Amino acid sequence: MLEHIDLLYAVALRLTRNPADAEDLTQNTFVKALRFHDKFKAGTYIKAWLLTILRNTFINEYRRKSRRPAEVELSGIEAAPDTMPDPDIFFDPQSGRREDLLELVDDPVRQAVEALPSDFREAVIMADLEDMSYKEIAEVMQCPLGTVMSRLYRGRKMLRDALGDYARGRGVHVG
């Protein structure tokens, strides 16, 4: 196996484009090869077996990293944006008054929600502000569950389209 270390490192360097990552990938390949040496069939071309392990290890690591959310290191110096409501203002939403819930969001968001067609608006408010289940929404709106899901999808899409600039202006990635 050691006679192929230079080749494995060269392939790893081509895949990762980073010497440190290439070294890690090569090392992980050897660890896996040693760990699963019993899977190697005698008479098989060892270089191809090692390159397959290297390639699969690279792909698995790439997929794992792409599913992980982006990491941002904060040094503690940056001030966090103030998103808390003013503690001096008392707000007690009335039970059953959806309009009161819209007072909790910024004006552009409230206006975008109010601009939705009524069926979509009611479904979005019940799901996203009142935290009702699809089944509960279907019972209130007296429609099938599939209709609720469709109205939520279309209503949320309309909101996404209407609020794209608003979200980007607040540093939210839209896409």
User: For residue 104, what pLDDT is reported?
Assistant: 65
User: For residue 72, what pLDDT is reported?
Assistant: 67
The average pLDDT across 41-48 equals 82
Give, as one character, the DSSP assignment of residue 78: S
User: For residue 10, what pLDDT is reported?
Assistant: 92
Flag whether pLDDT at 86 surpasses 70. no
The average pLDDT across 140-151 equals 93
Structure tokens at 45: 């071309």
Least confident of 21-30, 46-55, 124-133: 124-133
Q: Give the DSSP per-residue string, 106-162.
A: -HHHHHHHHHS-HHHHHHHIIIIIS---HHHHHHHHTS-HHHHHHHHHHHHHHHHHH
Domains present along the chain, CATH in parentheses:
2-67 (1.10.1740.10), 98-169 (1.10.10.10)
User: What is the pLDDT confidence band of residue 60, given thresholds at 50, 70 and 90?
Assistant: confident
- Encode 116-138: b = buried (16+ Cβ within 10 Å), e = exposed: beebbbbbbbbbebeebeeeebb
Percentage of the chain surpassing pLDDT 90?
Answer: 33
The rounded Cα 24 to chain-centroid distance in angstroms is 27
Flag whether pLDDT at 144 surpasses 80. yes
pTM of the shown model: 0.46
First CA to last CA distance, the chain: 45
HSE-CB at 160 with a 13 A cutoff on CA atoms is 9
Q: How many CB atoms lie within 10 A of CB 159?
A: 19
Flag whether pLDDT at 102 surpasses 80. no
3-state helix, strand, coil split of the chain in percent (to 5) is: 65, 0, 35
Q: Whole-angstrom Cα distance, residue 125 to residue 83?
A: 21
Flag whether pLDDT at 83 surpasses 60. no
Q: Whole-angstrom Cα distance, residue 152 to residue 170?
A: 24
User: For residue 26, what pLDDT is reported?
Assistant: 93
Flag whether pLDDT at 137 surpasses 60. yes
Flag whether pLDDT at 132 surpasses 70. yes
